[in-house]
Amino acid sequence: MRLAKYLAHGGVASRRKAEEIIAKGVVTVGGEVVVDPARDVDEGDDVRVNGAPVGAEALEVWMVNKPAGVVSTAREPGERQAVVELVDSKARLYPVGRLDADSTGLLLLTNDGALANQLTHPKYEVAKTYRARLGKRVRDSELRRLREGVELEDSPTAPADVSRINDREIEIVLREGRNRQARRMVEAVGNRVVRLRRIAFGPLKIGNLKEGDSRRLNATEIQKLQAAGDGREGAARSGARGRPR
Protein backbone atom coordinates (compact mmCIF):
# COMPACT_ATOMS: atom_id res chain seq x y z
CA MET A 1 0.00 0.00 0.00
CA ARG A 2 1.30 3.49 -0.78
CA LEU A 3 2.33 5.56 2.21
CA ALA A 4 -0.26 8.31 1.68
CA LYS A 5 -3.05 5.75 1.47
CA TYR A 6 -1.68 3.98 4.56
CA LEU A 7 -1.86 7.23 6.56
CA ALA A 8 -5.39 7.88 5.31
CA HIS A 9 -6.52 4.39 6.31
CA GLY A 10 -4.82 4.88 9.65
CA GLY A 11 -7.04 7.86 10.36
CA VAL A 12 -4.26 10.47 10.17
CA ALA A 13 -5.84 12.60 7.44
CA SER A 14 -7.38 12.44 4.00
CA ARG A 15 -5.07 11.13 1.29
CA ARG A 16 -4.41 14.61 -0.09
CA LYS A 17 -3.63 15.98 3.36
CA ALA A 18 -1.47 12.93 4.05
CA GLU A 19 0.64 13.78 1.01
CA GLU A 20 1.18 17.27 2.42
CA ILE A 21 2.17 15.83 5.80
CA ILE A 22 4.66 13.47 4.16
CA ALA A 23 6.19 16.34 2.18
CA LYS A 24 6.97 18.15 5.46
CA GLY A 25 9.40 15.40 6.42
CA VAL A 26 7.63 14.38 9.63
CA VAL A 27 6.84 10.80 8.56
CA THR A 28 9.26 7.95 9.17
CA VAL A 29 9.23 4.34 8.01
CA GLY A 30 11.50 2.07 10.02
CA GLY A 31 13.14 5.13 11.55
CA GLU A 32 13.94 6.68 8.17
CA VAL A 33 12.33 9.96 7.07
CA VAL A 34 10.26 9.44 3.91
CA VAL A 35 9.00 12.29 1.72
CA ASP A 36 7.66 10.16 -1.15
CA PRO A 37 3.89 9.56 -0.75
CA ALA A 38 4.11 6.66 -3.22
CA ARG A 39 6.54 4.70 -1.01
CA ASP A 40 5.18 1.17 -0.52
CA VAL A 41 4.53 0.08 3.07
CA ASP A 42 2.67 -2.76 4.72
CA GLU A 43 1.27 -3.64 8.13
CA GLY A 44 4.64 -4.91 9.33
CA ASP A 45 6.38 -1.54 8.81
CA ASP A 46 6.96 0.87 11.69
CA VAL A 47 5.25 4.00 10.33
CA ARG A 48 5.23 7.12 12.51
CA VAL A 49 4.06 10.73 12.22
CA ASN A 50 5.95 13.11 14.48
CA GLY A 51 7.12 10.05 16.39
CA ALA A 52 3.60 8.66 16.97
CA PRO A 53 2.96 5.17 15.52
CA VAL A 54 0.31 4.72 12.83
CA GLY A 55 -1.55 1.49 12.15
CA ALA A 56 -3.53 0.77 9.02
CA GLU A 57 -7.25 0.98 9.66
CA ALA A 58 -9.23 -2.18 9.04
CA LEU A 59 -11.27 -1.89 5.86
CA GLU A 60 -15.02 -1.62 6.41
CA VAL A 61 -18.09 -1.48 4.17
CA TRP A 62 -21.49 -0.52 5.53
CA MET A 63 -25.00 -0.44 4.12
CA VAL A 64 -27.27 2.41 5.23
CA ASN A 65 -30.97 3.01 4.57
CA LYS A 66 -30.75 6.78 4.20
CA PRO A 67 -33.81 8.80 5.26
CA ALA A 68 -34.91 11.96 3.46
CA GLY A 69 -33.13 15.08 4.70
CA VAL A 70 -29.88 13.29 5.52
CA VAL A 71 -26.99 14.38 3.29
CA SER A 72 -24.56 11.99 1.58
CA THR A 73 -21.37 13.46 3.02
CA ALA A 74 -18.82 12.50 5.64
CA ARG A 75 -19.41 15.79 7.45
CA GLU A 76 -22.18 18.39 7.30
CA PRO A 77 -21.29 21.91 8.48
CA GLY A 78 -24.94 22.98 8.49
CA GLU A 79 -27.93 21.78 10.50
CA ARG A 80 -28.67 18.67 8.44
CA GLN A 81 -27.48 15.25 9.54
CA ALA A 82 -24.60 13.59 7.65
CA VAL A 83 -25.09 9.97 6.64
CA VAL A 84 -21.93 8.81 8.48
CA GLU A 85 -23.68 9.72 11.73
CA LEU A 86 -26.01 6.77 11.15
CA VAL A 87 -23.13 4.29 11.38
CA ASP A 88 -21.62 3.04 14.65
CA SER A 89 -17.98 2.93 13.57
CA LYS A 90 -14.79 4.76 14.47
CA ALA A 91 -13.38 4.27 10.95
CA ARG A 92 -13.02 7.22 8.55
CA LEU A 93 -15.95 6.27 6.34
CA TYR A 94 -17.03 8.03 3.15
CA PRO A 95 -20.14 7.57 0.99
CA VAL A 96 -19.79 5.51 -2.17
CA GLY A 97 -21.41 7.95 -4.59
CA ARG A 98 -24.35 10.00 -3.42
CA LEU A 99 -28.08 10.16 -2.95
CA ASP A 100 -29.53 13.65 -3.00
CA ALA A 101 -31.00 14.86 0.28
CA ASP A 102 -34.61 14.27 -0.84
CA SER A 103 -33.95 10.67 -1.93
CA THR A 104 -33.96 7.65 0.37
CA GLY A 105 -32.66 4.12 0.40
CA LEU A 106 -29.47 2.14 0.02
CA LEU A 107 -26.19 3.99 0.37
CA LEU A 108 -22.81 2.35 0.90
CA LEU A 109 -20.10 3.75 3.16
CA THR A 110 -16.50 2.55 3.22
CA ASN A 111 -12.91 3.50 3.99
CA ASP A 112 -11.70 1.48 0.98
CA GLY A 113 -11.02 4.12 -1.66
CA ALA A 114 -10.13 1.60 -4.36
CA LEU A 115 -13.42 -0.25 -3.94
CA ALA A 116 -15.39 3.01 -3.89
CA ASN A 117 -13.75 4.10 -7.13
CA GLN A 118 -14.55 0.80 -8.83
CA LEU A 119 -18.17 0.92 -7.75
CA THR A 120 -18.72 4.49 -8.97
CA HIS A 121 -16.56 4.73 -12.11
CA PRO A 122 -18.81 4.72 -15.21
CA LYS A 123 -16.62 2.25 -17.11
CA TYR A 124 -17.51 -0.56 -14.69
CA GLU A 125 -21.27 -0.06 -15.22
CA VAL A 126 -22.27 -1.12 -11.70
CA ALA A 127 -26.07 -1.04 -11.58
CA LYS A 128 -28.05 1.11 -9.16
CA THR A 129 -31.75 0.24 -8.92
CA TYR A 130 -34.40 2.78 -7.93
CA ARG A 131 -38.14 2.85 -7.28
CA ALA A 132 -39.60 6.16 -8.41
CA ARG A 133 -43.06 7.51 -7.62
CA LEU A 134 -44.09 9.89 -10.40
CA GLY A 135 -46.21 13.01 -10.40
CA LYS A 136 -48.63 11.66 -12.99
CA ARG A 137 -49.52 8.45 -14.78
CA VAL A 138 -46.56 7.04 -16.67
CA ARG A 139 -47.16 6.57 -20.38
CA ASP A 140 -45.83 3.82 -22.61
CA SER A 141 -44.05 6.46 -24.69
CA GLU A 142 -42.23 7.71 -21.58
CA LEU A 143 -41.07 4.20 -20.71
CA ARG A 144 -39.84 3.68 -24.26
CA ARG A 145 -37.83 6.89 -24.25
CA LEU A 146 -36.25 6.08 -20.88
CA ARG A 147 -35.27 2.62 -22.14
CA GLU A 148 -33.67 4.11 -25.23
CA GLY A 149 -31.82 6.88 -23.38
CA VAL A 150 -32.75 10.56 -23.28
CA GLU A 151 -31.06 13.84 -24.09
CA LEU A 152 -29.95 15.81 -21.02
CA GLU A 153 -28.34 19.24 -20.97
CA ASP A 154 -24.83 17.79 -20.53
CA SER A 155 -25.11 14.81 -22.93
CA PRO A 156 -27.38 11.88 -23.85
CA THR A 157 -27.82 9.13 -21.27
CA ALA A 158 -27.20 5.47 -21.87
CA PRO A 159 -30.25 3.24 -22.22
CA ALA A 160 -31.84 2.25 -18.90
CA ASP A 161 -33.68 -0.85 -17.76
CA VAL A 162 -37.17 0.39 -16.85
CA SER A 163 -40.29 -1.46 -15.75
CA ARG A 164 -43.74 -0.28 -14.69
CA ILE A 165 -44.76 -1.13 -11.12
CA ASN A 166 -48.16 0.55 -11.35
CA ASP A 167 -49.70 3.58 -13.07
CA ARG A 168 -47.45 6.08 -11.25
CA GLU A 169 -44.49 4.02 -10.10
CA ILE A 170 -41.52 2.67 -12.03
CA GLU A 171 -38.35 0.74 -11.34
CA ILE A 172 -35.29 2.10 -13.13
CA VAL A 173 -31.76 0.67 -13.30
CA LEU A 174 -28.92 3.10 -14.04
CA ARG A 175 -25.22 2.39 -14.61
CA GLU A 176 -23.81 5.88 -15.13
CA GLY A 177 -24.10 7.63 -11.77
CA ARG A 178 -24.70 11.20 -12.95
CA ASN A 179 -25.93 13.83 -10.53
CA ARG A 180 -29.70 13.44 -9.90
CA GLN A 181 -29.87 11.35 -13.06
CA ALA A 182 -33.12 9.47 -12.42
CA ARG A 183 -34.98 12.68 -11.65
CA ARG A 184 -33.54 14.48 -14.67
CA MET A 185 -34.36 11.62 -17.03
CA VAL A 186 -37.97 11.50 -15.88
CA GLU A 187 -38.27 15.26 -16.27
CA ALA A 188 -36.80 15.01 -19.78
CA VAL A 189 -39.69 12.75 -20.88
CA GLY A 190 -42.35 15.10 -19.48
CA ASN A 191 -43.02 13.69 -16.01
CA ARG A 192 -41.52 14.29 -12.55
CA VAL A 193 -40.31 12.25 -9.60
CA VAL A 194 -42.11 12.93 -6.32
CA ARG A 195 -40.39 10.16 -4.35
CA LEU A 196 -37.18 8.27 -5.13
CA ARG A 197 -35.79 5.29 -3.26
CA ARG A 198 -32.70 3.25 -4.11
CA ILE A 199 -33.39 -0.42 -3.47
CA ALA A 200 -30.20 -2.05 -4.79
CA PHE A 201 -26.55 -1.24 -5.45
CA GLY A 202 -24.93 -3.80 -7.72
CA PRO A 203 -25.69 -7.25 -6.27
CA LEU A 204 -26.79 -5.88 -2.87
CA LYS A 205 -30.45 -5.28 -2.06
CA ILE A 206 -31.73 -3.15 0.78
CA GLY A 207 -33.96 -5.97 2.02
CA ASN A 208 -35.68 -5.33 5.36
CA LEU A 209 -33.16 -2.78 6.65
CA LYS A 210 -35.24 -0.09 8.33
CA GLU A 211 -34.96 3.56 7.36
CA GLY A 212 -32.20 5.22 9.37
CA ASP A 213 -30.56 1.90 10.25
CA SER A 214 -27.20 0.55 9.08
CA ARG A 215 -25.27 -2.70 9.13
CA ARG A 216 -21.72 -3.76 8.33
CA LEU A 217 -21.36 -6.01 5.29
CA ASN A 218 -19.91 -9.48 5.70
CA ALA A 219 -17.02 -10.92 3.71
CA THR A 220 -19.29 -12.64 1.17
CA GLU A 221 -21.18 -9.43 0.45
CA ILE A 222 -17.95 -7.49 0.02
CA GLN A 223 -16.67 -10.12 -2.41
CA LYS A 224 -19.83 -9.71 -4.47
CA LEU A 225 -19.29 -5.95 -4.55
CA GLN A 226 -15.69 -6.43 -5.61
CA ALA A 227 -16.83 -8.70 -8.44
CA ALA A 228 -19.27 -6.02 -9.57
CA GLY A 229 -16.58 -3.35 -9.28
CA ASP A 230 -14.06 -5.18 -11.43
CA GLY A 231 -16.49 -5.22 -14.34
CA ARG A 232 -17.76 -8.78 -14.16
CA GLU A 233 -21.31 -7.69 -13.39
CA GLY A 234 -21.34 -5.19 -16.25
CA ALA A 235 -19.98 -7.76 -18.69
CA ALA A 236 -22.58 -10.31 -17.65
CA ARG A 237 -25.45 -7.90 -18.18
CA SER A 238 -24.23 -5.93 -21.19
CA GLY A 239 -26.22 -8.07 -23.59
CA ALA A 240 -29.46 -7.09 -21.86
CA ARG A 241 -28.76 -3.35 -21.66
CA GLY A 242 -31.75 -1.28 -22.67
CA ARG A 243 -34.02 -4.29 -23.16
CA PRO A 244 -37.64 -3.68 -22.01
CA ARG A 245 -38.67 -5.79 -19.04
Domains defined for the chain, CATH in brackets: 3-54 (3.10.290.10), 61-240 (3.30.2350.10)
Mean pLDDT across 197-207? 97
Which has more confidence, 141 or 239? 141
pLDDT band at 207 (very low <50, low <70, confident <90, very high): very high
Which of these is catalytic: 40, 46, 100, 213? 100
Residue-averaged pLDDT of the chain = 89
Closest CA to 107 of 82, 83, 76: 83
The predicted pLDDT at position 241 comes to: 43
Report pLDDT digits (tens) over 165-195.
999 999 999 999 788 999 999 999 999 999 9
The predicted pLDDT at position 204 comes to: 96
- Is 88 noted as a catalytic residue in this protein? no
Which has more confidence, 207 or 15? 207
The predicted pLDDT at position 244 comes to: 40
pLDDT band at 88 (very low <50, low <70, confident <90, very high): very high
Report pLDDT digits (tens) over 132-144.
999 999 999 999 9
The predicted pLDDT at position 128 comes to: 96
Contacts with 229 (C-beta within 8 Å, 6 or more apart), sequence order: 115, 118, 119, 124, 126, 202
Which has more confidence, 74 or 96? 96
Q: What's the rounded Cα separation, in Å, for the pair 215 and 227?
A: 20
The predicted pLDDT at position 245 comes to: 40
pLDDT band at 238 (very low <50, low <70, confident <90, very high): very low
Contacts with 138 (C-beta within 8 Å, 6 or more apart), sequence order: 164, 167, 168, 169, 170, 191
- pTM flag (> 0.85): no
Report pLDDT digits (tens) over 113-134.
888 888 988 888 999 999 999 9
pLDDT band at 235 (very low <50, low <70, confident <90, very high): very low
Mean pLDDT across 24-40? 95
Q: What's the rounded Cα separation, in Å, for the pair 59 and 206?
A: 21
Do the beta carbons of residue 237 and residue 127 sit within 8 Å?
A: yes
The predicted pLDDT at position 70 comes to: 95
pLDDT band at 12 (very low <50, low <70, confident <90, very high): confident
